[in-house]
Structure 1
Amino acid sequence: MGALLASRGETMVNLLAPADPLVFCGTAEGEFFVGDDFRATYLAHLKEIPPGRMIDSRVEAWERGETGWAYWHGTLEFTTTQRPIPTRVTLIFAMYDGIWRVEHIHNSFPVANQEALGYEHTAHDALLEAARKLDPQVGSSGSATVMFTDIADSSAIAEAVGDARWSKVVQAHVEMVRQELEAHGGRLIKSLGDGTMSTFASAGQAMLAALDIQAALDGQAEEPRLRVRIGLHTGDVVQAGDDFFGTVVNKAARIAAFARPGEILVSEATRIMVGGASEFHFTDASRVALKGLEGDHLVYRLE
């Protein structure tokens, strides 16, 4: 905890287990990461946390063989808000070559990150950054449709079912998404936590994949029954570097974040691509502001 408040992120990263399972569960929606995705983004996550101090601190810890677990509870105050925040952290350790390393982290604040830390969680931003480092491989010219999906109320569900069960649910969900998009000619570019990014050469096929994903979720019998936000945007992907492709990706992510649980929102560019195709039905356009993008943008709900 001292390393966290002193912004010594590298120290904390060095304490992570080098092998799976590795799980992080936070307070905010979307703060659930596993395995290499967590290892790749944890340092950036820690750098978002402002300096602070412990007003009081209590630790209980146990070990049995090469497994250990600890419970920290106390009160933290961050420089950005100067508000005392009761906090709980649970950790599970495993022994690696004589050193205790963390395999599971669960942080719990009783208030939203905005109130506790003074900033919004950037799970989508982490997924965007991871995607930017990859070649989208959509083609050397033409346009592509980018799709983002995100499970709604994921933190509450994870808390209700437990981390072990939630990890299996997320893995099964991502695999279902992969199968649906590949059935329509799409390609999964990146998954991070419970969010995914994929690309399609055809806007129509991307919409059909989105509809099939929602239909699969509507038909699920086993609990927890998931609801997903989906956003689509289409843009030119002629070889123009990360900046150009990043604009298309960024808008698709922001549209997904704007969607309500169970909704599919598409940009005007994506709707135009299918013209008056009879298999698609849209609501009237809504003019919305999207985080990080100038001006207002037209979006349509795909029904």
Structure 2
Amino acid sequence: MWTMRPVAGLRSGLVALAGALVWLGAGCGDGGGSKPDAAPISLFDAAPPDAAPPDAFVCTKTMCGTECVDLETDPRHCGACDNACPPAADCAAPDCVCPSNFVPAAPGALFSQMNTEQVAPDILGLMVFAGTDGNAHALIAMFAPDVATGVDIDLASADAPTIGFGYQVDTANFTLRSGFLATSGTLRLDHACAEGVAGTVTGAKLEEYDVFSMTPVTDGCAIDDVDVTFAIGADCAPTPDAGPADAGPADAGPADAGSADAGSADAGSADAAGL
């Protein structure tokens, strides 16, 4: 069973994804720069030493506070100190560059699992797949046990199943860089049960969400017109058709009527014999 951080949120589907794949925020590293071994030497407070020690730090980029950063590539300081990019975006100063559509038309599962406990009574399906960008990503589908299949569902409606994506999943540690939620588009489910879920998403808009606070990322990334056909887990077991069994007793009626007719015929023969 997956572990889950207790958080309040708008959509528990991505919260469950956060429980399965622990959040890894963008820009948590050092951005390619180095941290100083000691505080920079002030030229005004004291005279410099006769000779700098061999390991003295010299920042060849830009100092942002106490950090030496590359403003050209650091997503926390993109083009300027403290100009942070959204988690899914890379820095190509002076711009933050959001990812293009990373979802294949029909992704194959590197890993998949169905879960009936984490978001009960709803059911959660999760699959990790190889994206069009060469990275691993995750797709989740959260739905009610009685969700309709074989019909078009508007993903913008309040009671629609949740379709979400984990962006750039570390498959070794099961962490992810960011999350996206399908906030519009059409979903048609082929089947949906505890054993598995499969369907097609058409024309979806993916908006970047913080999967722990479950709020849209400020100035976050968005991806339009996403189409994907997915399958998680196994097919659903066929439901026995009780119709013919119920129809059997009803068919017995005419047979009874036939017996009654036969009885009348016997009675008529008896009368004829009496004459």
Per the TM superposition, whether the score is higher than 0.5 is no
More helix by share: 1
TM-score of the aligned structures, taking structure 2 as reference length: 0.26
- Where relative contact order (Cα < 8 A, 6+ residues apart) is larger, the structure is 2
Larger Rg: 2
